[in-house]
């Protein structure tokens, strides 16, 4: 997994209306910095509820503080099969974290 910067931007998912606020970009230093959306040309997030992909691309280069209207939004709505696969993958990962935390606590005598 590569490095990226987090982007300060919130919106509701176009498909399920869940809050999306984990936007990322590789346009900056990719050092896990928190950037404003207008500091990058491209940023994106995937809805943790339905796996819908939302990506913003800057429409044209500018030397001013940008507004969200300066970006083109691209949305990829997942199919039911993609959504089921995403939920299974998320649930399997959550279960692995629980098991790993239990094993780590047991190892440390907690």
Q: 18: closest CA among 81, 70, 83, 66?
A: 83
Distances (CA, A) of 78 to 9, 20, 26: 22, 15, 23
Instruction: Estimate the share of the chain in helix, then strand, then coil, as percent rounded to the nearest 5.
Output: 30, 25, 40
Residue indicated by tokens 């696969």: 85
Q: Three-state SS for 69?
A: helix
Q: Is 36's pLDDT higher than 90?
A: yes
Higher pLDDT, 52 or 81: 52
DSSP tally for the chain: helices H, then strands E: 1, 8
Q: Is 104's pLDDT higher than 60?
A: no
Q: Indicate yes or no: pTM above 0.85.
A: no
């Amino acid at each position: 997994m590569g490095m990226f910067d987090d982007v300060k931007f919130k919106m509701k998912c176009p498909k399920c209306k869940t809050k999306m606020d984990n936007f990322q970009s590789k346009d900056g230093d990719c050092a896990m910095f928190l950037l404003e959306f207008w500091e990058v040309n491209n940023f994106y997030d995937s809805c943790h509820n339905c796996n819908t992909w939302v990506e913003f691309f800057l429409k044209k280069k500018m030397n001013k503080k940008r507004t969200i209207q300066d970006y083109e939004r691209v949305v990829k709505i997942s199919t039911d099969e993609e959504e089921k696969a995403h939920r299974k993958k998320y649930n399997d990962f959550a279960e692995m974290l629980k098991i790993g935390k239990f094993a780590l606590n047991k190892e440390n005598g907690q």
